[in-house]
Amino acid sequence: MKNRLILASSSAYRKQLLEKVCPTFDCFNPDIDESPKPKETPELLVLRLAEQKALAGKTQFPKNLIIGSDQVCCINGEIVGKPGNHQNAVKQLKAASGQAITFYTGLALYNSETKQMQSLIDTFEVGFRELSDSLIERYLQIEQPYNCAGSFKSEGSGIVLFKHLKGDDPNSLIGLPLIKLCGLLESQDFELLT
């Protein structure tokens, strides 16, 4: 396919993930309102936002494949955002202690030439060990994951917090389900690793 690949994200994590399967692509900040609608489920929220992010580039990139992705973390059915600071991260990790939390990642691929949208939701579960206050403090001092939903980085030292991980693709937990994205790209005749 001659269409260039576009990532509708300003996330450094998503950029690094996409580089695994496609070393050359462009990025833009989709700058959309990410507020949930009343009574919107986490699954519908991430799907809607992923699609809106992909569509945000349709005018700027008229003959491209545009990837949109969005993720939320839920503890006991409640959406948990990025902590932003140490105090909030402590609260999030204490709430996650001994719990299984779910990450929902919406993925959309929009072909701006054919106007075709493909989208899906990927789910990943993280089971947390019982976390002591001292382990939480040590972890946060080392990693400082204040811009990560759930207050941890699974690809880093966060592994010490977990009892189990359940999902099809560990990349999904970081923010971009690459296995499913590869399938969507191939359905558009996009050659991976080019």
Residue 194: inside a domain, yes or no?
A: no
User: Which backbone phi and psi does 64 adopt, to 5 degrees?
Assistant: -140, 165
CATH number of the domain that 47 lies in? 3.90.950.10
Considering 70, 133, 168, 189, which one is annotated as catalytic? Answer: 70
Q: What is the pTM of this model?
A: 0.92
> Which residues, listed in sequence order, are joined to residue 74 by a DSSP beta bridge?
79, 102
pLDDT value, residue 77: 84
pLDDT value, residue 33: 94
Let me know if 70 is a catalytic residue: yes
Ranges of the chain whose pLDDT falls below 70: 1-3
Q: Are 44 and 101 in contact (CB under 8 A)?
A: no
Domain that holds residue 9: 4-187
Residue 192: inside a domain, yes or no?
A: no
Domain count, the chain: 1
Residue 40: inside a domain, yes or no?
A: yes
**100-124 confidence digits (pLDDT tens):** 999 999 999 999 999 999 999 999 9
Residue 13: inside a domain, yes or no?
A: yes
